[in-house]
Amino acid sequence: MPDGLVFSASFAIDGPVILVHGGAWDIPDGAVEDHRDGLKTALAAGRRSLASGHSAVDVAADVVASMESHGAFDAGRGAMLNQDGRAQLDAGIMDGSCLDYGAVIAVERLKNPIRVARRLMDAGNGQVRILAGEGAERFAVAEAFTLIDNVDLISERERDRFEALRDRIGDVHTSQSFLPGVADRRSGGGHDTVGCVVRDARGHVAAATSTGGTPFKPPGRVGDSPLPGSGFYADGEAAVSCTGWGEAIAAVVLAHDVVRRILDDEDLELAMTSRLQAMHDRIRNPDGDGARGGLIALSGSAVAWAYSTPRMARAIWAPGLGTVHLEL
């Protein structure tokens, strides 16, 4: 791919719509079918939720929970493992009609972190919006969620990836050889963070994002996904969910930047592609490569996706349009 090139498309849709992504990175050919199935299953969950009359934010939680449970993605079950060989998950969600949001960070015993983030929006009563680690899990228990064993989040695929990285990079507990981010860059600079943006029948919008973060990340590392404004944002009729190199996305506060431009009446697709290009031009990893990622977004009258990685898993559903599984 030419350096910095951004792929994008937009669709004119002003009614209910669900747009979902399953990560922007160099998705291997052998993983494409599994990704398609995960996107299809998530859209079906979203359609059922919309048909039940749920609000955009509840539909967004249902869609992302489906992807967390599917196993194809770097979120929930199937998350990439940290240096301790544990799944450590982040998730965030936001309601554009009121700017309420909720997020959980570095949780290890929640089957569906996005559902706890969603509960926090209500139970936190505006006083608590983000909870990390054990505090988030204690909140979940108090709200009648069941804690699971971390091992139940670990797939064979990710166990194998972890062991291969540990063999290559070395045991970080006994050596100083590990540089944060080196595994991520070598694995194609991306991963399977999931997310969605939703517009419901009342015109309310929501954004949600969930991730296991980067492969072989240091325990406690936090990327963009649970940070409102970085990995997700929704305001008024605009909503954005991001995926890609979390440290870069957070540095340019990508989701909020795009939402702000949409609300300022910039062209939706141009707002997305110009921000991805700007992130690529401005932020370089230690190998000198420009930062890459992808995002999905909706405005009052359109939806769009854009990515600067070799592939991005994404799909869309709207009444009349049906389910469109875009090419991976």
Q: For Cα atoms 286, 182, 297, give the angle at the middle one, nearest 5 degrees.
A: 80
Asked if 246 is part of the footprint of ligand GLY (rule: CB under 6 A), the reply reads yes
Q: Look up 193 and say whether it is catalytic.
A: yes
Which one of 146, 174, 193, 323 is the catalytic residue? 193
The only residue of 66, 83, 193, 308 in contact with ligand GLY, by rule CB under 6 A? 193
Query: Which CB atom, from 16 or from 244, has the smaller least distance to ligand GLY?
Result: 244
241 lies in the binding site for ligand GLY (CB under 6 A): no
Q: Which residues face 100 on adjacent strands?
A: 95
Contact 205, 72 (CB under 8 A): no
Beta strands (DSSP E) in 13-83 are 17-25
Q: Does residue 214 belong to the site contacting ligand GLY (CB under 6 A)?
A: yes
162: CB partners within 8 A, 6+ apart: 80, 81, 85, 215, 216
Q: Please report, as a single letter, which amino acid is at residue 181.
A: G
Residue identified by tokens 């059922």 is: 48
Dig out the tokens for 242 from the structure.
């991001």
Residue number with CB closer to ligand GLY (18 or 254): 254
Asked whether position 195 contacts ligand GLY by CB under 6 A, the answer is no
DSSP result, 189-227: S-B--EEEEEE-TTS-EEEEEEE--STTPPTT---STTS
Binding marks (x or -) toward ligand GLY, 95..124, rule CB under 6 A? ------------------------------
66 or 193, CB closer to ligand GLY? 193
Q: Least distance from C-beta 74 to ligand GLY, angstroms? A: 8
When asked if residue 229 is in the footprint of ligand GLY (CB under 6 A), the reply is no
150 binds ligand GLY (CB under 6 A): no
Nearest CB to ligand GLY, comparing residues 17 and 276:
276
User: DSSP states of 52-72 as a string?
Assistant: TT--HHHHHHHHHHHHHHHSS
Report residue 266 as tokens.
């910039």
Residue nearest to ligand GLY (CB): 246
Q: Which residue has the tokens 């554009």?
A: 96
Name which position in 55, 243, 299, 308 contacts ligand GLY (CB under 6 A). 243
Quick check: 244 binds ligand GLY (CB under 6 A)? Answer: yes
50 vs 306 by CB, closer to ligand GLY: 306
- Answer for which of 224, 235, 257, 269 binds ligand GLY (CB under 6 A) is 224
Provide the minimum distance between the beta carbon of 223 and ligand GLY in the complex, in angstroms, as a whole number: 2
Binding of ligand GLY by 83 (CB under 6 A): no
183 token code pair? 């595994």
Around Cβ 59, how many Cβ atoms within 10 Å?
28
Q: Are 194 and 75 in contact (CB under 8 A)?
A: yes
- CA 198 from chain centre, in angstroms, equals 14
For ligand GLY, which stretch binds (CB under 6 A), given 153-161, 169-177, 197-205, 220-228? 220-228
d(CA 233, CA 244): 16
Q: Which is nearer to ligand GLY, 44 or 251 (CB)?
A: 251
Catalytic residues: 193
Binding-site ranges for ligand GLY (CB under 6 A) = 193, 211, 213-214, 223-225, 243-244, 246
